[in-house]
Structure 1
Amino acid sequence: MKKFTCCLKISLISASCLFLCSFSDPESMEQCASYLQKTFTDHYDSSQESDRIKRYELNVTNNGFCRYKRYFNNGKTEYFAFKLSKFKDVDYYGTTTAGKLYIHTRGDDVIVQTYKDRGGDVDSMATQIIIPLKNIEAEDLNLIRDNLNKINAEVSILQKP
Structure 2
Amino acid sequence: MKKFTLNLKICLTLAMCLLFMGFSKLELLDEQTDYIQQLLVSHYNEELETSQIKHYELNVTNSGFCRYKRFFKSGKIEYFSFNLVKFKDLDYQGTDTIGALYLYTRGDDVIVQTYNDTNEEDVDTMANYMSIPVKNIKTNDLTALSEYIRKTNARLLAQK
Q: CA RMSD in A?
A: 2.3
- The aligned counterpart of 2:32 is 32
Aligned residue pairs total 150
Paired with 1:83 and 1:128, the residues of 2 have a C-alpha distance of 12
Deviations 1:44-94 (A, max 9, x none): 101122222111100001111110000112211100011111111100111
- The aligned counterpart of 2:143 is 142
Paired with 1:37 and 1:81, the residues of 2 have a C-alpha distance of 13
- The aligned counterpart of 1:119 is 120
How many angstroms does 1:154 deviate by?
A: 1.0
- The aligned counterpart of 2:69 is 69
Amino acid at match of 1:138: T
Paired with 1:96 and 1:61, the residues of 2 have a C-alpha distance of 28
Q: Percent of pairs identical after alignment?
A: 48
Query: Do the aligned partners of residues 19 and 100 (structure 1) sit closer, same or farther apart at CA in structure 2, a change above 3 Å counting?
Result: same
- The aligned counterpart of 1:79 is 79
Unaligned runs of 5+ in 2: none
Paired with 1:150 and 1:61, the residues of 2 have a C-alpha distance of 15
Scaled by the length of structure 2, the TM-score of the pair is 0.83
- The aligned counterpart of 1:156 is 157
- The aligned counterpart of 2:133 is 132
Scaled by the length of structure 1, the TM-score of the pair is 0.83
How many angstroms does 1:20 deviate by?
A: 8.0
Query: Do the aligned partners of residues 31 and 121 (structure 1) sit closer, same or farther apart at CA in structure 2, a change above 3 Å counting?
Result: same
